[in-house]
Amino acid sequence: MRLFRLALKRETAMPVLALGFASAISVVLVIARILWTGRSLYAFLIWNLFLAWLPLVFALLACDKYETDCRGNWRFLGLSAVWLLFFPNAPYIFTDLFHLTRQFFFQHFWVDMVLILLFAFTGLVLGFLSLYLMQSVVTRMFGRLVSWVFIGAVAILGSFGIYLGRFLRFNTWDVLVKPAALYHGIGDWMADPFARPVSFAFPMLFATFLFVSYLMLYALTHLQPAPIPVRAAEAVAVQES
């Protein structure tokens, strides 16, 4: 109940409800595809979308701790670290587009592309909403300039996390389950990040994608309504009277 109360606060209620609606539609479409084709090829998208919600959950909890407890305490820092750990799961769904290159997906290519994009865009906005909440805290702590440095750092770290998941096949919980394997995987990358073209290019390109996409969405959400011309305002006033 506490989590629902935090999610449905005046500041976040509208985007959370919209994302909940988008998630429900996405799940219904996957179920419809399974019933239509008799194949559960895209059932994994539902799990990936669930993981995409987790960064928002941890961001809401972290922001609440920042507001209610002593600022900068260990609970806030711990929730922030967990948020950063799970953040790559939100934009990760975009990499599921690679499934469209497999031969057995060609029969319903356009349907499947729209389906994956709907999940991917929902996951991306979930991640961006959590990122915006964390940026707001960083802005209050260190200022607006530092908050945009924070956005750039998260974009780079998040993209590297996506690289670890898509190409090295690590999961978020491998930090606890397979710490040694994860350590060696990151160590091998750091020893020679240019070993393969994708090793360095993918994290940097995806980080650019995340930063630019977030910047555009940030700009759109900060649009100011155009002022009503004086004569038009007078006409509206006359009609209302």
**In percent, how much of the chain has pLDDT > 70?**
90
Asked if residues 52 and 90 have their Cβ atoms less than 8 Å apart, the reply is yes
Closest by CA position to 93, among listed 69, 67, 73, 119: 119
Which conformational region is residue 9 in: left (phi greater than 0), alpha (psi within -120 to 50 degrees), or beta?
beta
Pairs from 22-30 (Cβ < 8 Å, separation ≥ 24): 22/118, 22/121, 22/122, 22/125, 23/49, 23/53, 23/122, 25/118, 26/115, 26/118, 26/119, 26/122, 29/115, 29/118, 30/115
Mean pLDDT along residues 105-127: 89
User: What is the tens place of the pLDDT at every residue in 38-76?
Assistant: 888 889 999 999 999 999 999 999 999 998 875 558 889
* Burial (0-12, 13-18, 19+ Cβ within 10 Å), 41: middle
Backbone angles phi, psi at 109, to 5 degrees: -55, -55
Taking the C-alpha atoms of residue 160 and residue 143, their distance in angstroms, rounded to an integer, is 26
Give the dihedral sign, CA 170/166/29/41: negative
User: What is the tens place of the pLDDT at every residue in 133-177?
Assistant: 999 999 999 999 999 999 999 999 999 999 999 998 898 888 888
Residue 81 has, within 13 A of its CA and on its CB side, a CA count of 8
